[in-house]
Amino acid sequence: MVLFSSTITDITFTKQPDSIVRGIESNVETYTFASGDVKILNKYKSADRLTLNYTLTSEAFAAVNYLNDIMDGQVNVSVTGLNDTNLNTSYLISSVNANQKEAYDDMYELEITLERKYDRLI
């Protein structure tokens, strides 16, 4: 069971995501010198991005409206219950995409992208 909890509402999915894709965004600068040498500096990590993919029935699809409300409210959502406990933390929802599966009247593909930004420390 995966729980999305926020000040707006709580949403529970009874199953784990079909897939999880994790990405890390970094602030990278490239310097090219007159000699032709190139230096690449990875200055700091700016965000973690997590994409959860689900296949849902139309009953569970109702949660999409609640996820959109959380995303529109720009409030943090606490995610708990993922099998990889390192991913259970607080995120902002950056996108929610849902499409009906072809040839299935009652099945939807749902993609939820979560993002955790980091402030640059100087």
Per-residue pLDDT band for 53 (boundaries 50, 70, 90) equals very high
For 103-121, the pLDDT digits (tens) are 877 888 999 999 887 665 5
Is 77 inside a domain boundary? yes
Provide the pLDDT for residue 31: 85
Is 37 inside a domain boundary? no
Provide the pLDDT for residue 58: 75
Provide the pLDDT for residue 119: 61
Per-residue pLDDT band for 56 (boundaries 50, 70, 90) equals confident
Q: Pull the structure tokens for residue 25.
A: 């965004």
Helix, strand or coil, per DSSP, at residue 74: coil
Domain hosting 113: range is: 2-26+46-117
Number of domains in the chain: 1
What letters, b where the CB count within 10 A reaches 16 and e where it falls short, cover 95-122?
ebebeeeeeeeeebbbbbbbbeeeeeee
Provide the pLDDT for residue 5: 82
pLDDT of 72 higher than 60: yes
Provide the pLDDT for residue 18: 93
Provide the pLDDT for residue 51: 92
